[in-house]
Structure 1
Amino acid sequence: MVFYKKFNLSRLVENLSKSLDLILNGSPSNHALRVSFICILISYQMNFKLNERINLYLAGLLHDIGAVERETQLLLEYDKRDCVDLQRHAIVGYEILKKIPLFEEIALIVKDHHNPASNNLLSRIIYFADEVEVLLRRENLFEPKTLKAKIYPLYKNRPMFSDILDAFVEVIRNDAFFIMLSNVEEIKKYFVSHVEEKIVSVDAELFNRLAKSIAESFIDKKSKFTLTHSSDVAKTALAIARQVGLSNKDCKTIETAGFLHDIGKLFVPKSILEYPGKLSGNDWLRMKSHVYYTYSFLNQMELDEDIIHIASSHHEYLDGSGYPFGLNRNDLSTGAQILTVADIYSALRQKRPYRSNSFSHQEALEVLIGMANKGKINRDFIKAIPSDVLDI
C-alpha cells in the first residue's frame, strides 16, 4: 500500500527563507521578502498564470540561497555589488535546490536570476526586482516620480526588460507601493490574500527523500558540529524501530521525523549552537527553543500529527523533566521515545563544542542506561541499538 501525505510547500520555503535571512545577515534584512513582493506585483500586471506566480514567489524568497556570509552584505549595497561574483552564487543556489525533491522549477529560476540575457522570464523579473530593491535600500526613495526617474533610464533601451519595466512603472504609480514596501507586516498581509499556497500531495517515500534533502542542505549545515547529525538520528531511529518490530509505515514515519527533528535550529543563532561551554539563563532557553520551533515549523507545513509529535518530542523524558512541553510517558508515543534515544545516542557519538571527544558505542550505551535507570528513557530501545549503526 502507498501512503500519501499532503503538506504546505509554501510554508516550508517561507520559513527556510526567514532562517537564511537571519543566518546571512545577523538580523533580518527582509531583502528576499521585498524582492518577492516586487516580483508578485509585476506578475499581476503581466497577467501571469497561477503556477507561474507561485513559482516566482518561492524562487524570490530563495534567490540568494547560494550566497555565503562574507558576500551577503555586499549584495545589499548597490555600489559594492561589482565586488561579488553574482552569477557564482546563483549557480551555487541552483546546485543546492536542484537536489531537493519538488524544488526543481524553483532551482531553474534561481540559476539565472543574475543573468540579464536569460530566456527565463521569471529569472529576469527576479533580476530586475533584486536591482530595484537594493537601489531603494541605498537611495531611501519614497516618491513614484523619483523612483521612475532612477529606474527608467537603466532599462528603457533593454528590449528583454521592456514588458517588465512597463509593468513596474504601473506598479509604482502611487504611494501604496512605498508604504507597503517599508512595512514587512503589510507585505505579509498582501501575500496572504494575493499568493496562493502551494499544497502538494506526495507519497511517503518522496516526502522522506525531501526531508533528508532539507536535513542535509539546511539543518545540519547550520553548524560544523552537526554535519551528519540529522541523518545519524534518522538512521539510528530507523534501526531501533526495525529491531523492535514496528511496521514499515511506522518505521518510515520515524525515519522522516528523524531527518526533521532539528529543523527548529535554523532559528537559533550559530553563536549559541557552537558555544564552547555550558549555557545558562537566556542562552540556555534560546538553545532549548529549537524544539519548540521544530514543532511550530512542522505545524505550519501542515504535516501529519505523528511526524510533528515524534520530531518535536526528542527532548522530552518519561518522567516529565524534559522540554519544551514537559510531556511524560503517558504522552509520548513509541516513535517519540525511540527518537529521543536515537538523538542522545547520535549526539554522544559525535564531537560537540562543549566536549572535544566522541563516545564509543559502548560508552554511549552506558550513558543511556544511566538515564534509563533514572526513569528518563526507555531501556528496551537502548538494547535495540545495533553496534554498527553509525559505522564510526
Structure 2
Amino acid sequence: MNAFLPHDFKVYMDVRHALLAVATALDFVGVDDLHHGHRVAYMAYECASVLGWPDEKKQFAYFAGLIHDCGVSSSEEHLRLLKLMQPEDAHCHSKRGYEALLECPILDVFAPIVLYHHTPWLELQSHDLSVFERDIAALIFLADRTDFLRARYTHGCHEELITLHESMVAENLLAHCGTLFEPEMVNAMCQLVKKDGFWYNMDATHIELLGLEFKANHFYDKELDIGGVKQLARFLARIVDAKSPFTFHHSEKVALLAKLVAKDCGISDTDAELLYVAGLLHDVGKLKTPDLLLHKEGKLTKEEYSIVKRHTVDTEHTLHRFFPKSVIGEWASNHHERLDGSGYPFSKRQEQLDLPSRILAVVDVFQALTQKRPYRGSLSLSEIYDIMQPMVDKGQLDAGVYSILLADIDNFYHLSTQEFQT
C-alpha cells in the first residue's frame, strides 16, 4: 500500500515561532476574551523595559507571558479568572501548566514561572526560586492582573475605552502594592497604564511582530528537530485532551495508532513520524469549541453539530502557523473527510485524500469508538465492526487501510483502550 506522497515533508520551526503559535492556540480558549496571552507578554515586556532589565530577561518575560496560561483549557475556567483580582482556584491551572511544561524539555525553563504566576508577592519570596525566576513570576502576575482590570473596565463596551479608566487601573494596582505585587514593578506599570498609547499598542499582530524583531537569541532561534517537534505536539495535545474529560488521551492514542498503521501500510519511517505529529494535533481546533458542546452526553442538534464541525478548519489554520511549509495541517484537518464526499469541512473525495489522510480518518473513528463515555463503556470489537464496516462498504473509509487495521485488530484495540502511561 506504499503510495507516492507529492509533498515537502520537512518541518521548519524554531522555538520563537513555536511559542507564538502556542499562544495563538491558547487564545482559542478565551473565546470572548481573545489574545490575553499576547497582552500579558506585551505588558510584561514594556514594564521590564521601564525597570531597566537586560535584554535577555525582557525577552524571557515576553515569552513567559505568551504561554503563562497553558494550564487553562476550558473557557469556563478562563472566565473564572476574570471575576476576581485573586481567583480562588488559580493554583489549579498553574499546576497543570507547570506539569505540562515539565513534560516538554524544550519549554521546561518556563515551568516555575507558570507554577507561581498567581502567587502574591509576600508569599512568593518564601519559595525556593532564583531571583530571575521570582522576578519573572512576579511580573507575569502583575501583567496578568492588569489585563484582568482592562477586561473589567471594558466589559460591554469598546476596548479602547479603557483609556477613560487609566487612573482606576493604577489605583487598583497601587492598592495591592507590596502585598500581591512587587512595589517597584507596580510603580513601573502605573507609569505605563496612564499612557493612551500603551493600550492602543495591544494589537495581537503588533505584539507578535515585537517578538519576531527581538535581538537574535540562541535559545529562541534554535531550529527544532523532529524530536523537539514531537515534544511540542505532545504538549499541545495534552492541553487539547484536558479540555474534555470524555476524550482524555484521545489525541495521543490517535497519533500512536496512525503511526503504527502507517508503517504497516508501507509509509516511510520519516513520514510515519510526521503523521504521528498530525495525529497529536488533529483536534487542536477544539480548543475553540464551546465547552458545553464537547461535554454534552447525548446527540448534538443540527445547530450544535454545525459549530463543532468548525474545529477542523481551526486545526488547519493553527497548524499552518506551526508548520507553514508542511502538509501536517492538511493531514490533520482531513480527519473527518470521507472518500465519497460525505465528510467535512470541504466534502473532499477520494482523489483529494492521500494515504496519510485516509489513515488518520480510519484511526480517529476507531479510537473514538473504543473510548469510554459517561453513558457507555468502550465498545466491543464486534460493535465497532458493525459501525465501521458499513462505512467501508459505502466507500466512506479506505478499505485497504481498514484491512490493515483488522489484520492486527487485537493489538490495536488493546493499545486504544489501555490506561495511558505518561
> Taking structure 1 as reference, are residues 199 and 313 closer, same or farther at Cα in structure 2, changes over 3 Å only?
farther
Of all paired residues, the percent bearing the same amino acid is: 27
1:103 match = 107
CA RMSD of aligned residues (A): 3.2
1:171 match = 192
Amino acid at match of 2:21: L
Amino acid at match of 1:111: L
> Taking structure 1 as reference, are residues 115 and 103 closer, same or farther at Cα in structure 2, changes over 3 Å only?
farther
**2:373 is the counterpart of 1:367:** no
Provide the secondary structure at the position in 2 that maps to 1:315.
Answer: coil
Stretch deviating more after TM superposition (70-79 or 225-234): 70-79
> Taking structure 1 as reference, are residues 282 and 155 closer, same or farther at Cα in structure 2, changes over 3 Å only?
same
- Counterparts of 1:5-154 in structure 2, within 5 Å, are 5-7=11-13, 8-22=17-31, 27-28=32-33, 31-48=36-53, 51-66=56-71, 75-78=81-84, 81=86, 84=88, 89-113=93-117, 114-116=119-121, 117=125, 119=131, 120=133, 121-135=135-149, 142=164, 147-148=169-170, 151-152=173-174, 154=176
Amino acid at match of 1:195: G
Stretch deviating more after TM superposition (137-146 or 342-351): 137-146
> Taking structure 1 as reference, are residues 30 and 257 closer, same or farther at Cα in structure 2, changes over 3 Å only?
closer
Q: Whole-Å Cα distance in 1 between the matches of residues 394 and 180 of structure 2?
A: 71
- Counterparts of 1:245-264 in structure 2, within 5 Å, are 245-264=266-285
Deviation at 1:294, TM superposition (A): 0.8
TM-score, reference length from structure 2: 0.77
Deviation at 1:288, TM superposition (A): 0.9
**2:212 is the counterpart of 1:196:** yes
Q: Is the CA contact (8 Å cut-off) linking 1:76 and 1:134 kept in structure 2?
A: yes
Deviation at 1:244, TM superposition (A): 2.0
1:306 match = 327
Q: Is the CA contact (8 Å cut-off) linking 2:26 and 2:287 kept in structure 1?
A: no
> Taking structure 1 as reference, are residues 137 and 223 closer, same or farther at Cα in structure 2, changes over 3 Å only?
closer
Structure 1: runs of 5 or more not aligned:
181-185
| Number of residue pairs the alignment of both structures matches | 376
Provide the secondary structure at the position in 1 that maps to 2:223.
Answer: strand
Q: Deviations over 1:360-382 (max 9, x none)?
A: 23432343222121111211111
Q: Whole-Å Cα distance in 2 between the matches of residues 285 and 243 of structure 1?
A: 35
Q: Whole-Å Cα distance in 2 between the matches of residues 366 and 244 of structure 1?
A: 23
> Taking structure 1 as reference, are residues 296 and 153 closer, same or farther at Cα in structure 2, changes over 3 Å only?
closer
Q: Whole-Å Cα distance in 2 between the matches of residues 167 and 76 of structure 1?
A: 23
Q: Whole-Å Cα distance in 2 between the matches of residues 158 and 264 of structure 1?
A: 35
TM-score, reference length from structure 1: 0.83
Provide the secondary structure at the position in 2 that maps to 1:322.
Answer: coil
Q: Is the CA contact (8 Å cut-off) linking 1:5 and 1:201 kept in structure 2?
A: no
Provide the secondary structure at the position in 2 that maps to 1:128.
Answer: helix
Stretch deviating more after TM superposition (357-366 or 95-104): 357-366
Structure 2: runs of 5 or more not aligned:
1-8, 154-161, 214-219, 418-422
Q: Deviations over 1:163-182 (max 9, x none)?
A: x34533442453323455xx
> Taking structure 1 as reference, are residues 31 and 377 closer, same or farther at Cα in structure 2, changes over 3 Å only?
closer
- Counterparts of 1:334-345 in structure 2, within 5 Å, are 334-345=355-366
